[in-house]
Amino acid sequence: MARIVQKYGGTSVGDVDRIKNVAARIKAVRDAGNELVVVVSARAGVTNELIARAKSITPLPSEREMDQLLAIGEQETIALTAMALHAIGVDAVSYTGAQAGIFTDQVHTKAKIQGINPKPMERDLQAGKVIIVAGFQGIDTEGQTTTLGRGGSDLTAIALAAAIHADKCEIYTDVDGVYTADPRVVKDAKKLPEISYDEMLELASLGSKVMQTRSVEFAAKYGVVFEVRSSFNNNPGTIVKQEVAYMEKVLVRGVAVDKDQAKVVVSNIADKPGTAARVFRALADATINVDMIVQNVGRGGVANLTFTVPLSEKDKAVKALAPALKEVGGEATFDEGIAKLSVVGVGMKTHSGVAAALFEALAKAGINLELISTSEIKISVVIAKAQADEAARVVHAAFALEKLG
């Protein structure tokens, strides 16, 4: 007997028939003698519909009230999934994030998990029940509902797997693993049988839709090995685990494209100590993630700062920067027509020439580079959004990633 945590995404539970399909999968695993905790997302489209309704009332709704609103989506799914299990003879009970003992900080819409009390779940597991947990949500020390941000249901599953010492964690989604690129864009993309935490972390942070960064960080921190697989077939997925030596033989393991990016240029600011600190403090206080920062050489006492922020946070960035720029001078312009393309691989630690090969491939395709950033195992460039899909195909071919998998 094993203790297993499963997570089903919004597409997997998108309608009643799919919920019934998930229930049948759960029953099969339970009937094999396993203990099961199942995390579910809101049905596909529900969260976006709720956000649209809120923004039709006000363009910048209260983040506390957004948490109250968005938590509804997962609560619908847990109840429907439990009902589907009852209908086929499985003893199941649904838990909200609060009922599952998921305690967070007080940052609404982007809360971080502070701890989990597994005692209620342990009692129900020992009683033979399947537990269905609402992903994406928790409760703070004041009893307020909080949500964990994008990919929060994956994080819920990973965190619960660590808290209850699960033997296995399975992340079910609408793709059957982690690919060398988005297979909807790059037709010869290959599924990877396994990938390191570091590579998965970079791909998640760089726009891969399979997992979000915090989930992978949490898994790496607590040593939770997990498998990404499809809920629509029984094919093996991709195992995400600690890096092992042979992984470094592969130079590049994946290409990621993130179109949810905006480029910000803060121009004509005072070229003196503290100016950049004031700009980025304003963004940090608004909990806006900043990436790919470049400052040009100051001339005539002024300088320019260029950086990227998530496109979904552009309006927040505009509001946050306004008072800071009144203090330091200058003005901010935003470009939504950009995308970030990245290549990732632990093999970059021990091999040279990756940047040259990347830039040459893009140059031959007539794709201009607006910004460049690097880390030990990745290289990212900002390019025109209209060229992003073609760039992914060009780069995938340049590194012969179709031969992996």
Separation between Cα atoms, residue 98 and residue 134, nearest integer Å: 9
pLDDT at 356 over 70: yes
pLDDT at 243 over 80: no
User: Could you tell me if residue 216 is inside a domain?
Assistant: no
User: Could you tell me if residue 110 is inside a domain?
Assistant: yes
Instruction: Name the pLDDT band for 202 (thresholds 50, 70, 90).
Output: confident
User: Could you tell me if residue 386 is inside a domain?
Assistant: no
User: Could you tell me if residue 296 is inside a domain?
Assistant: no
The closest of 185, 310, 176, 305 to 239, measured between CA atoms, is 176
User: Could you tell me if residue 350 is inside a domain?
Assistant: no
Give the pLDDT of residue 270.
83
Give the pLDDT of residue 71.
96
Give the pLDDT of residue 207.
60
E strands of 271-375, at which residues? 291-295, 302-310, 331-335, 338-344, 371-375
pLDDT at 334 over 90: yes
More confident call, 248 vs 188:
188
Averaged pLDDT, 256-285: 92
Strands laid side by side in the 102-104 sheet: 113-116, 102-104, 137-139, 145-147
Q: Residue 344: count other Cβ atoms within 10 Å of its Cβ.
A: 29
Averaged pLDDT, 30-41: 97
The closest of 256, 238, 234 to 196, measured between CA atoms, is 238
pLDDT at 32 over 80: yes
Structural domain total, the chain:
1
More confident call, 191 vs 208:
191
pLDDT at 250 over 90: no
Count of alpha carbons within 13 angstroms of residue 403, beta-carbon side: 7
pLDDT, the chain, mean: 92
Question: The whole model's pTM is what?
Answer: 0.79
Instruction: Name the pLDDT band for 208 (thresholds 50, 70, 90).
Output: low
Weakest-pLDDT range from 70-84, 112-126, 192-206, 304-318: 192-206
User: Could you tell me if residue 103 is inside a domain?
Assistant: yes
Our CA dihedral for 76, 80, 81, 87, rounded to 10 degrees, sits at 170
Separation between Cα atoms, residue 16 and residue 7, nearest integer Å: 17
User: Could you tell me if residue 113 is inside a domain?
Assistant: yes
The closest of 323, 330, 383 to 358, measured between CA atoms, is 383
Domain hosting residue 161, numbered range: 3-174
Separation between Cα atoms, residue 111 and residue 140, nearest integer Å: 9
Weakest-pLDDT range from 248-257, 275-284, 355-364: 248-257
pLDDT at 247 over 70: no
pLDDT at 331 over 70: yes
> Hey, what are 164's tokens?
């209850």
pLDDT at 14 over 70: yes
User: Could you tell me if residue 329 is inside a domain?
Assistant: no
Separation between Cα atoms, residue 159 and residue 219, nearest integer Å: 8
Separation between Cα atoms, residue 347 and residue 350, nearest integer Å: 6
Question: By three-state DSSP, how is residue 252 classified?
Answer: coil
| CATH number of the CATH domain containing 32 | 3.40.1160.10
